[in-house]
Homo-oligomer: A and B are copies of this chain.
Amino acid sequence: MPQYKYVLEEKDLPTQWYNVLADMKTPPPHYLHPGTLEEMLDPPIPPPVFPMALIEQEFSQERWIEIPDEVQDVLKMWRPSPLYRAARWEKALDTPAKIYYKWEGVSPPGSHKPNTAVAQCYYAKEEGLEGFATETGAGQWGSALCFATRLFDLKCKVFMVTISYHQKPYRRIAMETWGGNVVPSPSSETKAGRDILAVDPETTGSLGIAISEALEYAVTHDGWKYSIGSVVNFVLMHQTVIGMEARKQMEMAGDYPDIIIGCAGGGSNASGLIYPFLKDKLDGTKPDLRAMYVESTACPSMTKGIYAYDWGDTAKTGPVVMMHTVGHDFIPAPVHAGGLRYHGMASTICRLLEDGIVEARAYHQVEVFDAAMSFAQAEGFIVAPETAHAVKAVYDEALACKESGESKVILWNNSGHGVFDLGAYDAYHRKELTDYKLDTAAIEKALAELPKVPA
C-alpha cells in the first residue's frame, strides 16, 4: 500500500489567504443595490450587515491577504488538515486513477465551515461587537459559528429552519454545547418570523425565512451583525487555506492534480480547494487543469440555471449579484444535502464557468449515496450528504480512467463527516431514498421574478 496521509506541522499553516479576483482576466460584474439596482462600486455596501473589515475584503483586489495571527492561532486547533490518498478505494474501484482527498472532518464541528467562522469572529471581536446572528438549515454552518463565537467570547443567535430543528436535534445540541442560542425559524422573535407564523402557524420554515430573521435580528440589535457561511467573496477566500495546504501536501506526495473536484451549494468548500490550484491555470502554467463543481439536480443553478442578476437572498435584502441562478423564489426538493439547496452560486465561480475555465455537473441523490457507500466501505469515513456529491463525481472520473486506462490524478475535498446525517444513510439502506423530478416549470416561474436590471 502507498502512503495514506500527508500531514503538515502547525508551522506549515498558510499565513495568507488567496484572492482569486486578483488573477481573473474577466472579473464578475459589480454588485447592485438590492433596492435601486444601481452598481455598488465600493465599501461599505448597504445595508452594513457585516463587520467592516469583511466588507473591505469582499471588494479587495489584492492577491494575498494576511491571515491575522489570532485567526491562525485558532485554526491551529485542527489545521493543517490531513491530505489522504484513497488507496483502498482505488483498489475497490480497480482504477488506475490516483485519488487524493483533503479531510476537513477533523475540525471540532466536523466540516470546513469553521475556516471562515473563525475569521469572521475575529473581525467582529476587533470591531467590538457583542454577537453574530445567522441562519442554518441542517446545522453545519450554525454549529461552526457557535464553535467560533465561543472561542472569541461573542454571543451567537441561530435561526434554525424549524423542520431541521426537530429532525436534527444533535446539531442543535452541539450548538448549545458551544453556548449558542438556537431558535426554530420562523420564530416569534422577529417581525419576519411573526408575519409568517400569523399566516401559517404550522409552517416547517425555509432557509429564506431564516436568513430574513437573522438579518432582521442583526440590524435591530445594537452590537450585533450578520454572519454568512458561503457564497460571498470573503468566505471563499477564507476557505483557501484548504487549497494552500493541499498544494504543499500534493508536493509531498509527488503529484499534481489533473482534476480537482468539490461539491457546491454556495461554492465555498470547493473553491477553497480549487482556487489556489486554479491560479496555475489562470497564469497559464497548467492550462489543462480541470476544476469541477458538483451540485444537486434538485437545485441545478450551474447546470440548468441562467447567468443573470438575481438577489442573493429570498428576502431581497442583500446585494443583487450576477450569477447562475434558478431564481431566488425557487424552492428545491427536500434532498438530504440541505447545503446544496441554495438558488444561486458564488459570483467568481459563475464568471469562471461562463469563461469555460471551470466546469459543473449535477447528480441525483441515490447515485450520490451509492458512491458514498462505496467510499465508506473502502476508506471508513462516512461523509456528509453534500460531500457525497463530490464523491460521486470522483467515482465517475475514476471509472472513466479504468475504461481509458489513464492514470489521472484526482484531488477532491472531503468537506465534512456525515455523523449527524446518518438518517439519510438509513433511508438509503432501507431503499427509501428517492430521486426527485426537477420542476422546470417552477424554475421558469422563479426566473420570471429576477430583477429587471436596466442594460
| A residues at B contact (CB < 8 Å) | 1, 3-5, 7-10, 73, 76-78, 88, 106-110, 147, 150-151, 169-170, 173-174, 176-179, 373, 376-377, 379-382, 419-420, 422-423, 425-426, 429
Whether B422 lies near A419 (C-beta < 8 A) is: no
Whether A5 lies near B1 (C-beta < 8 A) is: no
- Residues on B with beta carbons closer than 8 Å to the beta carbon of A177: 373, 376-377, 382, 422, 425, 429
Nearest to A3 among chain B residues (CB) is B10
Whether A376 lies near B178 (C-beta < 8 A) is: yes
Nearest CB of chain B from residue A119's CB, rounded to whole Å: 16
**Which of A8, A373, A377 is packed against the most chain B CB atoms within 10 Å?**
A377
On whether A179 and B10 interact (CB within 8 A), knowing A76-B4, A173-B423, the answer reads: no
The 9 tightest CB contacts between A and B, nearest first, are A108-B380, A173-B422, A170-B422, A173-B426, A419-B419, A7-B7, A4-B76, A1-B73, A108-B381
- Residues on B with beta carbons closer than 8 Å to the beta carbon of A170: 170, 419, 422-423
- Residues on B with beta carbons closer than 8 Å to the beta carbon of A179: 377
Q: Considering the chains assembled together, what is the distance between the CA atoms of A88 and B107 in angstroms? A: 16
Q: Considering the chains assembled together, what is the distance between the CA atoms of A222 and B288 in angstroms? A: 56
Q: Describe A's contact surface by its main secondary structure.
A: helix
Nearest CB of chain B from residue A365's CB, rounded to whole Å: 16
Q: Considering the chains assembled together, what is the distance between the CA atoms of A151 and B87 in angstroms? A: 12
Partner among B1, B147, B382, B425 whose Cβ is within 8 Å of the Cβ of A108: B382
On whether A110 and B425 interact (CB within 8 A), knowing A7-B7, A10-B3, A10-B4, the answer reads: no
Partner among B76, B107, B380 whose Cβ is within 8 Å of the Cβ of A151: B380
- Residues on B with beta carbons closer than 8 Å to the beta carbon of A376: 177-178
Nearest CB of chain B from residue A111's CB, rounded to whole Å: 12
Q: Known contacts A108-B382, A170-B422, A173-B423; can you find 13 more A-B pairs with CB under 8 A? A: A3-B10, A4-B10, A77-B380, A108-B379, A147-B380, A151-B380, A169-B423, A169-B426, A170-B419, A174-B419, A176-B425, A177-B429, A179-B377
Nearest to A70 among chain B residues (CB) is B1
On whether A173 and B429 interact (CB within 8 A), knowing A108-B381, A110-B419, A380-B151, the answer reads: yes
- Residues on B with beta carbons closer than 8 Å to the beta carbon of A106: 106
Partner among B76, B107, B147, B419 whose Cβ is within 8 Å of the Cβ of A420: B419
Nearest CB of chain B from residue A253's CB, rounded to whole Å: 12
Q: Considering the chains assembled together, what is the distance between the CA atoms of A63 and B8 in angstroms? A: 33
Task: Give 29 pairs: A residue, B residue, CB < 8 Å, sorted on A.
Answer: A1-B76, A3-B10, A4-B76, A4-B77, A5-B10, A7-B7, A7-B9, A77-B379, A88-B151, A106-B106, A107-B380, A108-B380, A109-B380, A150-B377, A151-B380, A169-B426, A170-B170, A173-B422, A174-B382, A174-B425, A176-B425, A176-B426, A177-B373, A177-B376, A177-B382, A178-B376, A178-B377, A419-B419, A419-B420
Q: Considering the chains assembled together, what is the distance between the CA atoms of A10 and B178 in angstroms? A: 33
Nearest to A427 among chain B residues (CB) is B173
Whether B76 lies near A5 (C-beta < 8 A) is: yes
Q: Considering the chains assembled together, what is the distance between the CA atoms of A373 and B7 in angstroms? A: 29
- Residues on B with beta carbons closer than 8 Å to the beta carbon of A3: 10, 76
- Residues on B with beta carbons closer than 8 Å to the beta carbon of A373: 177
Q: Considering the chains assembled together, what is the distance between the CA atoms of A9 and B78 in angstroms? A: 16
On whether A173 and B425 interact (CB within 8 A), knowing A4-B77, A10-B3, A420-B419, the answer reads: yes
Q: Considering the chains assembled together, what is the distance between the CA atoms of A429 and B146 in angstroms? A: 15
- Residues on B with beta carbons closer than 8 Å to the beta carbon of A109: 380
Q: Considering the chains assembled together, what is the distance between the CA atoms of A147 and B420 in angstroms? A: 18
